[in-house]
């Protein structure tokens, strides 16, 4: 086995929970995206063209648009999640690549490391999620059309499904590969030297920046210390707050989608000959879809929260270790706890702001596509 | 072995330009043991990085065995590093996921060559780590980790060894042991050694001591 592969495998063994969570997150995300894509494909391929001008068609179109918006946000969230994971190991990876450079690894051999990670975790997780997701999407699509009482066309050629599946695999694995590889193959010679000296250039920059605004000076000492700490560990705090925001964003995305779908009843009620009378019919039509979405979004939220919790624990341990410096200059434990509380407040505030902005963007996207 | 001509390197900062190397020229003969001393920021490590091909100068040339490291494409520079140059750092720079044995044989494996078990055994005995081949770096002391780094450099049979503060992180006893190994590499295997150090005791092991200040050589003594 090549040394690069050995290193990648041992890293997985050393931190199994972290890698398992990442695998699960990519798997569930891909399954969900694949389910949504195939649900839309099934409703397009099986819908009878004779119904094209009826309000039912307009409802189907709205559902598909909602699903497209949700899938788009899911792709974005998955990309950010992979990027977060790569970011967590950035320092470790930089040091590895720097050592490999110093012992004479060729550029191709250095690039082999992220490719091996892609082979071992990212690509298998994406592939494992796509097939079951697509089957579930097709089943839900058929059930949805059946509940609505739509005229169903005969099943199209299996080749067509295979084509959609292939496109899904290419796009899914392609996006995963891009998110995984891009941040890792852009190391500069400066980062190699810095990593060899065990200096984190980003931390060095933030540690040397200092605030001198009056607002900052007027804050209490403990708040200023907390602010300094947040500045110093900026990449870690950004990552944690982003991770929390994304975890909380999944149920919000689900709720927004439900909200917008349940508000299209007017279109259906407009034509009594469709045989669909009330909102209840719409709810029953989309209930299975929502049940599946609910399970998936819940899983993604739990996985995201677990990852964020792991990061918080790691940062807490780092801060406890750093606390020795404060204690050595006479700060008591209660004050140190207050500093930590201020840091936590900043973290929560940042997560809430990111979540709020994300929700507003998602809501606007739904309004634009579905029509408010 | 090593011909450096008019090497210049500057780093831009917010306060202007810092000259790390100021038209530095240097010749090191095969089999020399050279210690480079000087204050922090005098350009010692920058010089070592240039020779190792880890950094590129603004102008000048670095010829290692007649090959200009500066103008070498990355792939060939990597090959030269693997076959001709061994590097030892202050912080050992071992790969934590690889065992002691795997760390030592890494450059050879990257080269796709067979591992010479006899030679590996011999080198492990030389550095006093025989029987610990399966240990991971975090189970070793600082002195032992530095000996692994030396073994890694030695196993690749380099003709030039670059050492950046090899004793900077070690106690007196371990420092002496590392210096003994470096002297042995130079005298027994004929490896040219270029060592950057702050330690006068370490520099005393070298046959030639170069003093640097402000990116220039201000003193060059042979002992």
| Residue B127 CB contacts under 8 Å (≥ 6 apart), including other chains | B147, B148, B150, B151, B154, B181
Among candidates B21, B10, B11, B5, which has minimal Cα distance to B213?
Answer: B21
Residue A212 pLDDT greater than 60, yes or no: no
Report the mean per-residue pLDDT for chain A: 79
A282 occurs within a structural domain: yes
Residue A199 pLDDT greater than 50, yes or no: no
A353 occurs within a structural domain: yes
A48 occurs within a structural domain: yes
Report the mean per-residue pLDDT for chain B: 88
Residues in chain B predicted with pLDDT less than 70, given as ranges, are none
pLDDT in tens, A48-85: 666 666 666 777 777 788 888 888 888 888 888 887 77
3-state secondary structure of A256: helix
pLDDT in tens, A326-348: 787 777 888 888 888 888 888 89
Question: Domains along chain B?
Answer: 2-95+157-222 (3.40.50.300)
Q: What is the pLDDT of residue A325?
A: 79
Q: What is the pLDDT of residue A56?
A: 67
Q: B33-38 and B208-213 as β-strands: parallel, antiparallel, unpaired? A: parallel
A229 occurs within a structural domain: yes
Per DSSP, the residues of A113-148 read HHHHHIIIIIHHHHHHHHHHHHHHHHHHHHHHHHHH
Q: Where are the alpha helices (DSSP H) in chain B?
A: 44-51, 74-83, 100-110, 117-126, 142-155, 172-188, 200-203
Q: What is the pLDDT of residue A98?
A: 85
Distance in angstroms (rounded) separating the CA atoms of residues A30 and A17: 20
Contacts of B52 in chain A (CB under 8 A): 102
Residue of B20, B78, B136 to mutate for A, most A C-beta atoms under 10 A: B78
Distance in angstroms (rounded) separating the CA atoms of residues B73 and B89: 24
Among candidates B161, B163, B153, B101, which has minimal Cα distance to B129?
Answer: B101
What is the span of the domain harbouring residue A128? 3-199+217-370
CA distance B223 to chain A (A): 31
Q: CB A193 to CB B55 under 8 A?
A: yes
Contacts of B109 in chain A (CB under 8 A): 2-3
Among candidates A294, A303, A366, A301, which has minimal Cα distance to A140?
Answer: A294
Identify the closest residue of chain A to B55 by CA–CA distance. Answer: A189
A206 occurs within a structural domain: no
Q: CB B110 to CB A102 under 8 A?
A: no
Reported as a pLDDT band with limits 50, 70 and 90, residue A204 is very low
Q: Which of A11, A14, A104 sits opposite B82 (nearest CB)?
A: A104
A212 occurs within a structural domain: no
Identify the closest residue of chain B to A99 by CA–CA distance. Answer: B93
Q: CB B110 to CB A105 under 8 A?
A: yes
Contacts of A14 in chain B (CB under 8 A): 97
Rg of chain B on CA atoms, in Å: 17
**Contact at 8 Å (CB) between B195 and B163?**
yes
Interface of B with A (CB under 8 A): 49, 52, 54-56, 74-75, 78-83, 85, 87, 89, 91, 93-95, 97-98, 102, 106-107, 109-111, 152, 156
| Mean per-residue pLDDT, A229-236 | 81
Q: CB A103 to CB B56 under 8 A?
A: no
Q: Based on the structure, what is the number of domains in chain A? A: 1
Identify the closest residue of chain A to B112 by CA–CA distance. Answer: A2
Ramachandran angles phi, psi of B195, nearest 5°? -120, 130
The predicted complex's ipTM stands at 0.82
pLDDT in tens, A104-159: 888 888 888 888 888 888 888 888 988 899 899 888 888 887 777 666 677 777 78
Q: What is the pLDDT of residue A291?
A: 85
Residue A273 pLDDT greater than 80, yes or no: no
A264 occurs within a structural domain: yes
Q: Which of B54, B83, B95 sits opposite A101 (nearest CB)?
A: B54
Q: Which of B56, B74, B95 sits opposite A7 (nearest CB)?
A: B95
CA distance A321 to chain B (A): 19
Distance in angstroms (rounded) separating the CA atoms of residues A348 and A319: 17
Q: What is the pLDDT of residue A190?
A: 53
A113 occurs within a structural domain: yes
């Amino acid at each position: 086995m090549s040394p690069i592969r050995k290193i990648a495998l041992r890293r997985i063994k050393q931190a199994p929970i972290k890698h398992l969570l990442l695998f699960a997150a990519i798997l569930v995300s891909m399954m969900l995206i694949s389910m949504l894509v195939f649900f839309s494909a099934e409703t397009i391929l099986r819908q009878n063209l004779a119904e094209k001008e009826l309000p039912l068609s307009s409802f189907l179109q709205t559902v598909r648009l909602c699903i497209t918006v949700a899938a788009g946000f899911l792709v974005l969230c998955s990309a950010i999640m992979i990027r977060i994971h790569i970011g967590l190991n950035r320092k470790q990876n930089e040091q590895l690549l720097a050592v490999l450079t110093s012992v004479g690894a060729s550029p191709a051999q250095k690039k082999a490391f992220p490719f091996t990670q892609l082979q071992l975790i990212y690509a298998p997780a994406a592939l494992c999620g796509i097939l079951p997701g697509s089957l579930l999407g097709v089943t839900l699509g058929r059930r949805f059309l059946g509940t609505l009482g739509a005229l169903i066309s005969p099943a199209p050629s299996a080749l067509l499904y295979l084509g959609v599946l292939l496109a899904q695999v290419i796009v899914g694995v392609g996006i995963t590969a891009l998110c995984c590889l891009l941040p890792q193959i852009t190391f500069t010679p400066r980062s190699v030297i810095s990593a060899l000296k065990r200096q984190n250039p980003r931390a060095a920059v933030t540690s040397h920046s200092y605030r001198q605004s009056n607002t900052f000076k007027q804050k209490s000492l403990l708040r200023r210390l907390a602010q300094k700490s947040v500045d110093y560990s900026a990449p870690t705090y950004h990552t944690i707050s982003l991770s929390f925001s994304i975890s909380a964003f999944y149920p919000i995305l689900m709720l927004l989608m439900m909200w917008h779908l349940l508000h299209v009843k007017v279109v259906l009620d407009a034509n009594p000959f469709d045989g669909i009378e009330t909102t209840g019919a719409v709810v029953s039509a989309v209930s299975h879809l929502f049940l599946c979405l609910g399970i998936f979004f819940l899983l993604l939220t739990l996985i995201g929260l677990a990852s964020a919790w792991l990061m918080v624990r790691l940062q807490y341990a780092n801060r406890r270790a750093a606390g020795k410096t404060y204690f050595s200059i006479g700060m008591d434990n209660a004050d140190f706890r207050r500093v930590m509380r201020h840091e936590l407040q900043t973290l929560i505030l940042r997560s809430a702001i990111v979540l709020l902005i994300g929700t507003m963007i998602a809501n606007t996207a739904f309004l634009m596509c579905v029509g408010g | 072995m090593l011909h450096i001509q008019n090497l210049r390197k500057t780093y831009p900062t917010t306060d202007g330009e810092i000259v790390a190397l100021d038209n530095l020229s240097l010749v090191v003969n095969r089999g020399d043991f050279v210690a480079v001393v000087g204050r922090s920021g005098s350009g010692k490590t920058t010089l070592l990085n240039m020779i190792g091909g880890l950094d590129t100068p603004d102008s000048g040339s670095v010829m290692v065995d007649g090959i200009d490291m500066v103008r070498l494409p990355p792939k060939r520079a990597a090959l030269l590093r693997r076959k001709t140059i061994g590097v030892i750092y202050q912080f050992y720079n071992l790969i934590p996921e690889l065992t002691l044995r795997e760390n030592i044989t890494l450059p050879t494996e990257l080269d796709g060559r067979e591992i010479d078990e006899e030679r590996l055994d011999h080198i492990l005995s030389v550095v006093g780590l025989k029987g610990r081949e399966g240990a991971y770096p975090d189970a070793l002391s600082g002195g032992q980790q530095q000996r692994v780094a030396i073994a890694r450099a030695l196993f690749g049979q380099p003709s030039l060894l670059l050492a950046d503060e090899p004793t900077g992180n070690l106690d007196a006893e371990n420092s002496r042991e590392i210096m003994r190994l470096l002297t042995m590499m130079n005298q027994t295997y004929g490896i040219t050694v270029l060592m950057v150090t702050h330690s006068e005791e370490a520099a005393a092991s070298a046959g030639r001591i170069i003093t640097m200040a402000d990116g220039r050589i201000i003193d060059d003594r042979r002992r």
